[in-house]
Amino acid sequence: MIDVIEILTHWYAGRSQNELATSLGVDRKTLRKYTAPAVAAGMAPGGPPMDEQDWRRLATEWFPQLTDHRLRQVSWPGIEPHRDYIAAQLRAEVTVATIHQRLRDEHDLEASVASVRRWVRANLPEQARRARVTVLGDASPPGEQAQIDYGRLGMWLDPASGRRRAVWAFVMVLACSRHLFVRPTVVMDQAEWTAAHVEAFAFFGGVPARLVPDNLKTGVDRPDLYDPKINRSYAELAAHYGTLVDPARAAKPKDKPQVERPMPYVRDSFWRGREFASLPTCAPPRWSGRGRSPGPGQAGRWTERPRPRCSPPSSSRLCGHCRSRRSCWPPGRAPGSGRTSTPRSAARSTRCPGATSATAWTPGPRRAWCSSSTAGS
């Protein structure tokens, strides 16, 4: 609108078509297009004084498509008959891309997905905004929750084999402090999943009360809102450490935002622009989340790192030799690696697999979750 008003103002001041084309950078055909209604109305350069508001009113009457963008959308008349269908799909939380695909396949719609997006924003603004609404959940108490996920880092040329391999990052984030643990890997099998948890717990110095993983097969066999079936090996690991596995809902990344959001940071600050000779060199100590600078509203949250306010793995009945919880594991073996735990009823008379002599189980002190510590997780 401002360009048209400027063209009309300069034309009314008596400037020629060549001068307008040179100074405004507009083709003379375009100038004739926008000055034609004024000429047809009997107006001529040098007439009675007119201000910007007068030209704006006249330009709105002569060129309504400049103020009403719906008049410029040639594909919208083909979308309008499907208004009720699109509104119902949006209420069912179907994405606009999927709605466009269904309209194209089932109703022969010829409009592009971009046109459907523009139509939804202009004609169904309430439904469009509702899809973008994020409700801020309650802050997680210290030691209460850790969120877990895998994120793709990129491709890596393995010097040993000469092959390019995809590298993934196992990421565990404490929900309260955003304390970050990263472990790169080229496999995502059960042994790697278990080893990453053990290493993360050792790094944090404790175990959170609740683990919120994604619904990958190494953690969850069957996703369900009320009764998910946890992978047997993962369930053994959780029982060993005395924590609860509470998977996020399927296809609901907002259930674990604290681990979803740092993924771009991990890829950018840790991986991109670097070359590593081997996987162990990919994970120096500084890449366990200690070196991240505070973001907006997080001043001081990344500078001090007290011991996490989590329950230590040995907070219940302890083995006098290996200090493991409820069960003993041979050296080099971890929970979930195939060995079943020792039943509690038989534990008092069972020899510890890692000991050189018979060691009886002795009861250790019981501690309430995070009740004896004042440090934040």
Domains in the chain: boundaries: 2-67, 75-132, 145-287, 314-367
Indicate whether 222 pLDDT > 70.
Answer: yes
* Per-residue pLDDT band at 123 (split at 50, 70, 90): confident
Q: Is the pLDDT of residue 208 over 70?
A: yes
Q: Is 242 left (phi over 0), alpha (psi -120 to 50) or beta?
A: left
Tell me the one-letter amino acid at 122.
A
Residues in Cβ contact with 69 at an 8 Å cutoff, skipping those fewer than 6 apart? 122
Q: Which residue has the tokens 């092959």?
A: 163
Amino acid at 19: E
Query: What is the rounded CA–CA span in Å between residue 140 and residue 143?
Result: 8
Residues 248-263 have a mean pLDDT of: 89
pLDDT tens figures, 297-306: 333 232 223 3
pLDDT at 230 over 80: yes
Which ranges constitute the DSSP H helices of 275-351? none
User: Is 289's pLDDT higher than 50?
Assistant: no
Q: Domain 145-287 belongs to what topology?
A: Nucleotidyltransferase; domain 5 (3.30.420)
Q: What's the mean pLDDT in 31-57? A: 85
Q: What is the mean pLDDT of residues 332-348?
A: 37
What's the pLDDT band for 107 if we cut at 50, 70, 90? confident
Q: Is the pLDDT of residue 312 over 70?
A: no
Mean of pLDDT values over 251-279: 87
